[in-house]
Amino acid sequence: MDDSRLTAGRAWLPALLLCVGLAAGGSVGSGQAVAADEARLEVLHADGERLVSLPMPEGEGWCLEWNHSVEGFAVQDCYRHRQGRMVLVRSHLPDFAAGLDHIPGRGRQVSDGEGGYWIEAIDEPVPGNAYRLRVGSMSVDHRLVIENIRVSLSSLAENRRVTIRLTRPAGLPE
């Protein structure tokens, strides 16, 4: 077998395991030992049950993506782990539909080249490194996007409240 094909297959293994874990009804990352110095992106149900727990090293990022409830297109809010903080860095809005517009003084609007736009350089720390979200139905399909992996929060907690948080590594100042 060609070594490049073997290497490419290994790159997909973590994504496959993530999908298998979700399909089996388990929580992503539950039951794993977590190093005290490792930041994690977590999604907790209102009762405290951990639904998702993924490593989130310094400088890495993720997006919360969902389908607009009226127009149906995908909207994204993208975050980055910066020095132990969850920071909203950019948002993608494919249209100026109801409630979707740029607020002057909050980032800068640039074309996405496909009729929509990005709000870049928002750079707003999220208070307490966490926020609550009422997860939408499967038609809205709230999902975490990390590189090419999508984790459907709607399949895990449809129409329920969750907290999305970045845990801080031990030893980082508040």
Sign of CA dihedral 22, 43, 76, 38: negative
The tens digit of pLDDT for each residue in 69-95 reads: 777 789 999 999 999 999 999 999 887
> Tens of pLDDT along 24-65?
333 454 444 445 578 999 999 999 999 999 999 999 999 999
What values do phi and psi take at 52, rounded to 5?
-140, 140
Given a cut of 80, whether residue 1 has pLDDT beyond it is no
- Confidence (pLDDT) at 20: 33
Mean residue pLDDT of the chain comes to 79
Beta bridge partner(s), residue 167? 40
Helix (H) or strand (E) holding 38: none
Contact assessment for residue 120 and residue 108, using Cβ atoms and an 8 Å cutoff: yes
pTM: 0.75
Q: What local confidence, expressed as pLDDT, does residue 56 receive?
A: 96
